[in-house]
Structure 1
Amino acid sequence: MKNKLYTIACGLLISISGSAQEVEFTEYDLDNGLHVILHQENKAPVVTVGVMYHVGAKDEEKGRTGFAHFFEHLLFEGTENIERGKWFDIVSANGGRNNANTTQDRTYYYETLPSNNLELGLWMESERMLHPVINKIGVDTQNEVVKEEKRQRIDNAPYGKIIYKTGINKYLFKKHPYGQSVIGSMADLDAAKLDEFIAFNKKFYNPNNATLVVAGDIQIEDTKKMISDYFGSIKNNGEKITRTNIEEEPITSEITAVEKDANIQIPAKVLVYRTPKQTEKDAYVLDYISTILTGGNSSRMQKNMVEDKKMALQVIAFTDAQEDYGTYLMGALPLGDVSLDKLLAEMDSEIEKLQNELISEREFKKLQNQFENNFVNSNSSIEGIANSLARYNMLYDDTSLINKEIEIYRSITREDIQNVAKKYLNKNQRLNLDYLPESSK
């Protein structure tokens, strides 16, 4: 009876999730190449205006790393019509909030405001695109801000070089710029001239390299008119960006390395594999594998290494798929005097089980249910919907994935899980990293 009810519940969840999360949107291009996506949702008087630029750390020149992340800060300095240092004040004074973030592949800026301030958000983002003020005082100010951020998040943060991958990606990517960190080199930023920052802005922060998203309590035709008024006349400062496909040689033998961290007392064993880009189905399968291993209290590594054998204080496994490549990371912190070699053997054992045995039907159903639930909750906020629409359009070239991506997960089989584990999670294809306290010999 329990199994029957379990099956009915699974079916009900699938049927609900298939319709409950439909996100309707309108998309089109302006004559200047700016891609526009509109999502109307009038349940609450809130609107998000977001602009995603197709520029990230991978677009930086060697010797000038950190520019994309630097611009995440610099383009809040002010514009010809927004006084320096007043951006956040204007947004908060009008009942809103705003932020930005940068990855290897893109930079995203957004404001969330009461819907009666939609025009303000559009004006501010058009100002950022059209009239940014890039001068020495702004560059010097943000240089200190970025340095402090690096100190807080990486230099002085426990396990910072793992979390932000400054101690990982350099081993996996020898040709591709994914080998450099998003935050970049402070020496590179110090050495850069003002003209180089101006040139970077001119090259990348143009309408034809951007996606504008407006989501929330809007009227489509009125919003189109405002967008035309504020963005339609903005000209592109340079040619449309063309990117060279940089291919890495396959990893054919295990890379062993040691990184030290003055901020930790407990070492970590970390395994990292180079994996396919985010648009490939195998990248989705690796999401499933992460959940099998460490997705909750009943996951395999959590139950085996933390609860039953009490050999690990903490375990992690996650995939980070990006536009050109991905990485898959597994790690564990030892409990007591357990050696890193014992953690390694246990993690390898978990991988081998995935490679040699199909997961059970029950475990597979549970896994599917978790992802169905994630899908139901994935677009629960207007901010989240705006971000997803921009990301699927820019990095996947398919905005409709906001509604269809769950079908990719539903198409994954138990055999796919086994085959992907065999294809990517092999000892001769990985980085085997000992992450140690600075005092370790």
Structure 2
Amino acid sequence: MFRSFAYALAASTALASGSVAWAAPLPAQTAPAPAAQLPAAPLAELIRPVDIPHEKFTLPNGLTVIVHTDRKAPIVAVSTWYDVGSKHEPKGKTGFAHLFEHLMFNGSENAPGDFFAPLREVGATDFNGTTSFDRTNYFETVPRAALDRALFLESDRMGYLLGAITQGVLDEQRGVVQNEKRQGDNQPYGLVKYKMTEGLFPAGSPYHHSVIGSMADLDAASLEDVKTWFRSHYGPNNAVLVLAGDITAAEARPLVQKYFGSIPKGPESARPAITVPTLSAPKVETMRDRVATTRVMRMWAVPGMDSADATALDVAAGALGGLGSSRLDNVLVRQEKLAVSVSASNQTLAQAGMFVISMDVRPGVDAKLAAQRLDQVVADFLRSGPTAEEVQRVATVTVSGTVAGLEAVGGFGGKAVALAEGELYLRDPDYYKKQLQRLAATTPASAKAAATKWLSRPVYALTVEPGARDAYEETQAAPKVPAGNTAPTPASAEGPAKGTRGAMPAVGQVQDLSFPAIQRSRLSNGIELVYAQRTAVPVTQIAISFDAGAAADPAGKLGTQALTLAVMDEGTTTRNSVALAEEQERLGTRIFSSSSPDLTYIGLGGPSANLASSVTLLADVVRNPAFAPAEVERLKATQLARIAQEMTSPGGLASRAMPPLLYGKDSPYAKLAAGSGDPAAVQALTRDDLAAFHRAWLRPDKAKVFVTSDRPLAEVQAALEKGFGDWRASGQAGVKNFASAPVQATPRILLIDRPDSPQSLIYGAQLTAEKGTDDLLALNTANDALGGNFLSRINMDLREEKHWSYGAHGSVNQLPNAVSYVISAPVQADRTGDSIAALQKDVREFLTTNGMTQQEFDRTITGETRELTGRFETSDAVLNAMISNDLLKRPDDYYATITDKYRGFTLPQLNAAARKALRPDRFVYVVVGDAKVVRPQLDSLGLPVEVVAAQPAASAQGSK
């Protein structure tokens, strides 16, 4: 699906109170007159731009190198992929590949210490590592002037790592990984991932166990075990290095030879023998978890990347349950209202795959009857197959997403990933192109044949029911001490590794950010248009920002905004919900809606070739929502189920509990506590309520349009003028009331009892006296050292030093009418009290006796200035910046001038900014965890403690 900027903005989707103007009664509903199909560019035109020209060469030691030149910015993506994943792990060594991913970030012989430090200093962006069943990869995007430094680091951990792996480093990262595992397990449906692979692949299959492995195997890992693992798999002949960006192959070859050429070959990583298993008979299992909705799943093991059937199964999955207009959606969600959500996906691995159908049963519906109907729809699909139009829509949506994703040179996606994946798995870096060719050549008959062949075999049927979580073998709260050790060894206890390669390369002159010029214009009705041209990919993104958001949700009817937005995307006066979904898919365009505390967004992202038609469709959604009563009732049930899900997840519970403590009950921001809504209020909402909200808040006099596009402003404006130029406001506009200043509660701990939680989620927050529209760059920059990134005091303490957490951070939450500081720390349950004490100490020392150091200051200023070009590589990032600047009343050239602001800061200035805004004794805490484990740990902290139960949203069961 299209990668829209909306997903970044949707991090804050909770709603707040406001007032809605009186609205005249709605006219009687009549069936919409069908709209004519909008013109759409042919698929071939969308596929044409998908091209990543490259050169490939191999060093004598076997390292494969691929270079792609992209001159849009002075940055280079460095992506190193190793042919080692969890499928290579023998019995008793599960989780080793992922554990080693962590170990390789903890320094090497010639670059001791955490790898994030030198990467931060050079201004790296998108730097991380991931492990899958099939491979491990490490990646960073760096300024061109820092490429030597990045290559030195990557080569050093490839060839000079063993001397830096100590018992202390192993113990440290073992604890971090185990808390990563607990964090995943702690989520609703968090144990399903284990059931999937164990149910589909037999014991002994390389795909049978999870990537993260078992606690027991991680506990048992010895120092010699992990060193042997490294020697067996991480040689250059088992790796692919991709450089994508401001570099040519001629420039790359001597650099790669210089840094990697002397690393000797290692053993070849043997590709395990894997056949696609077929169950001898249907397998049916039921598990219980603390979830709000019954989930019914149907799964089959299917072929991997090297099979032509994989693409045909992708198409079948899209038509069956991947598209918004899919068969399963239409029957089970829209027509018969048996489910609140349903999906089908083909998860392709290198040597096999998993075809997964998942349905969340609508509360109040008999799950067995819903499951029977699901099976009937799947059987009907296998008999009939997809239509030609469905196949075409799946292909269009897929291609549109691919084009958008290729704007980035690296990161979790982007061009480097496409090249590396094809080379590592199939020795073909152009495989991405062959995939698209297969996609375009897929017919209804070939998709039907593949689906029938693989989905007619015995199924693995898994049902997850609400209830107390079933016991499982890895629920222990604390890690076991490895044999032979009385306690984990501090990572620094054995001293730095002794290097032989000399100092790391210096970084040359990094080019300053060239932020795109922002142009402003207006439509004929006065709506302001804010535009930036981005030509890297032929994609347009449009966000209509309305002055509404959380503060506009009607008092006493919290959840109105969320339901209004949901129903708007499910039918207009000329297109019903199915027709609207099909039109988006034909155009390869995704219409989205979202909200923040202060703004409501409706927009689109899609191919610029379909710009005019996409804007026409967007205008229909924004201006002509039908609010059909049947759709209102259906989506009300969906929203109630989502509310109930929020009340079963640690993050949802904490997010709903904190706002009243932070802002006080009279602030509109306190209504963020409603999350997706108050269940009783949502249950009572009517069509009239939604239409009234639309008239009062989603109107032209409250709208502003933000656009990034490869098309010129004149063309974009012409399309918007046609769709919105004659839109006029009528009636009274809604008014938000921020007259009451927010008032924080006195320091305390609210403990939300969530039984059987292997982790506790800690939120610590305080309201500041700052104004959101002030220039808070100094405060945000100071926070880089306290909680703002991986190297911050908070994260390094709880994760790297104590390894009680997978990660912790603190951030300045800058809203126009309130500024708060919020710490988030998921920690192992038995260390909850200790973790709060550690956070209190970290914050207190930072604000009193041990403020930002000169080393932290230098690293922050250097890193912030050098990373700017990489940070704004994509249209998503630019569009977000445009909207934020406008909301916080910053000038359009804010980021064009920010480099000089960073360079003008002094260390005393940043420490003063932090000490002015924050007080260590003012924090309030929300803790979500198992009270019987956590409550005794909190008594020594000197704060009042209140314990409340995590109650599910009972009203979610009431909509039939």
State the TM-score bracket (shorter-chain normalisation).
Answer: over 0.9
CA shift, 1:325, in A, is 1.2
> RMSD across aligned C-alpha pairs, in angstroms?
2.0
1:81 aligns with 2:127: no
Q: Which residue type is aligned with residue 464 of structure 2? A: Y
Please give the secondary structure, in 2, of the residue aligned with 1:409.
Answer: helix
Please give the secondary structure, in 2, of the residue aligned with 1:324.
Answer: coil
CA shift, 1:134, in A, is 1.2
C-alpha distance in 1 between matches for 2:141 and 2:102? 18
The aligned counterpart of 1:270 is 297
Change (3 A) 1:372 1:440: closer
C-alpha distance in 2 between matches for 1:47 and 1:167? 40
1:401 corresponds, among 431, 445, 452, to: 431
Which of the pair is proportionally richer in helix? 1
Deviating 4+ runs (over 4 angstroms): 2-6
C-alpha distance in 2 between matches for 1:315 and 1:249? 25
The aligned counterpart of 1:223 is 252
The aligned counterpart of 1:153 is 184
Q: Which residue type is aligned with residue 181 of structure 1? A: S
Contact 1:301 1:315 in 2 (8 A): yes
Contact 1:354 1:417 in 2 (8 A): no
CA shift, 1:24, in A, is 0.5
Please give the secondary structure, in 1, of the residue aligned with 2:165.
Answer: coil
The aligned counterpart of 1:415 is 445
The aligned counterpart of 2:468 is 439
C-alpha distance in 1 between matches for 2:124 and 2:254? 22
Q: Which residue type is aligned with residue 298 of structure 2? A: L
2:74 corresponds, among 29, 41, 45, to: 45
CA shift, 1:16, in A, is 4.2
C-alpha distance in 2 between matches for 1:403 and 1:419? 23
The aligned counterpart of 2:282 is 254
C-alpha distance in 2 between matches for 1:278 and 1:113? 31
CA shift, 1:286, in A, is 1.3
2:268 corresponds, among 205, 228, 240, to: 240
Contact 2:406 2:415 in 1 (8 A): yes
Q: Which residue type is aligned with residue 307 of structure 2? A: E
C-alpha distance in 1 between matches for 2:105 and 2:402? 33
1:144 aligns with 2:175: yes
1:109 aligns with 2:138: yes
Contact 1:372 1:406 in 2 (8 A): yes
2:422 corresponds, among 377, 385, 392, to: 392
Q: Cα deviation per residue 1:173-198 (whole Å; 9 max; x = unaligned)?
A: 11312010000011111112110000
1:378 aligns with 2:408: no
The aligned counterpart of 2:343 is 316
1:301 aligns with 2:332: no
C-alpha distance in 1 between matches for 2:229 and 2:381? 46
The aligned counterpart of 1:95 is 123
Q: Which residue type is aligned with residue 161 of structure 1? A: L
Please give the secondary structure, in 2, of the residue aligned with 1:160.
Answer: coil
Please give the secondary structure, in 2, of the residue aligned with 1:73.
Answer: helix
Change (3 A) 1:329 1:5: closer
C-alpha distance in 1 between matches for 2:287 and 2:328? 24
Contact 1:40 1:215 in 2 (8 A): yes
Contact 1:167 1:259 in 2 (8 A): no
C-alpha distance in 1 between matches for 2:420 and 2:238? 12
Change (3 A) 1:337 1:440: farther
The aligned counterpart of 2:797 is none
Please give the secondary structure, in 2, of the residue aligned with 1:179.
Answer: coil
C-alpha distance in 2 between matches for 1:100 and 1:214? 16
CA shift, 1:377, in A, is 2.2
Which segment is superposed worse, 184-193 or 294-303? 294-303
Which segment is superposed worse, 299-308 or 272-281? 299-308
Give ranges in structure 1 of 5+ residues lacking alignment: none
Change (3 A) 1:197 1:392: same
The aligned counterpart of 1:179 is 208
Contact 2:293 2:360 in 1 (8 A): yes
The aligned counterpart of 2:721 is none
The aligned counterpart of 1:26 is 55
Q: Cα deviation per residue 1:342-399 (whole Å; 9 max; x = unaligned)?
A: 2222221221222211433333332232233233223221011111111110112211
CA shift, 1:150, in A, is 0.6
CA shift, 1:4, in A, is 11
CA shift, 1:49, in A, is 0.6
Contact 1:375 1:406 in 2 (8 A): no
The aligned counterpart of 2:363 is 336
CA shift, 1:232, in A, is 0.7
1:14 aligns with 2:41: no
1:199 aligns with 2:225: no
C-alpha distance in 2 between matches for 1:423 and 1:56? 29
| Aligned positions, number | 430
C-alpha distance in 2 between matches for 1:288 and 1:189? 39
Which of these two proteins has the greater Rg computed from alpha carbons? 2
C-alpha distance in 2 between matches for 1:194 and 1:337? 53
Q: Cα deviation per residue 1:245-290 (whole Å; 9 max; x = unaligned)?
A: 14365323101112232x3232211111010112211111111122
Change (3 A) 1:88 1:440: closer
Contact 1:25 1:37 in 2 (8 A): yes
Contact 1:56 1:68 in 2 (8 A): yes
The aligned counterpart of 2:376 is 349
Q: Cα deviation per residue 1:395-425 (whole Å; 9 max; x = unaligned)?
A: 1221112333210101111001211221111
CA shift, 1:301, in A, is 1.6
Q: Which residue type is aligned with residue 107 of structure 2? A: G
TM-score (norm 1): 0.93
C-alpha distance in 2 between matches for 1:405 and 1:319? 14
C-alpha distance in 1 between matches for 2:284 and 2:385? 30
Contact 1:54 1:394 in 2 (8 A): yes
TM-score (norm 2): 0.43
C-alpha distance in 2 between matches for 1:214 and 1:348? 47
Please give the secondary structure, in 1, of the residue aligned with 2:195.
Answer: coil
CA shift, 1:80, in A, is 1.1
Q: For 1:269-288, what aligned pairs fall within 5 Å after superposition?
A: 269-288=296-315
Q: Cα deviation per residue 1:12-53 (whole Å; 9 max; x = unaligned)?
A: x422422x1211001111000011000111111111111100
Please give the secondary structure, in 1, of the residue aligned with 2:191.
Answer: helix
Change (3 A) 1:405 1:440: closer
Q: Which residue type is aligned with residue 410 of structure 1? A: A
Contact 1:28 1:36 in 2 (8 A): yes
Give ranges in structure 2 of 5+ residues lacking alignment: 1-33, 471-960
CA shift, 1:172, in A, is 1.4
C-alpha distance in 2 between matches for 1:440 and 1:377? 40
Q: Which residue type is aligned with residue 462 of structure 2? A: L
Q: Greater RCO between the two (CA within 8 Å, min separation 6)?
A: 1
Please give the secondary structure, in 1, of the residue aligned with 2:433.
Answer: helix
Contact 1:10 1:369 in 2 (8 A): no
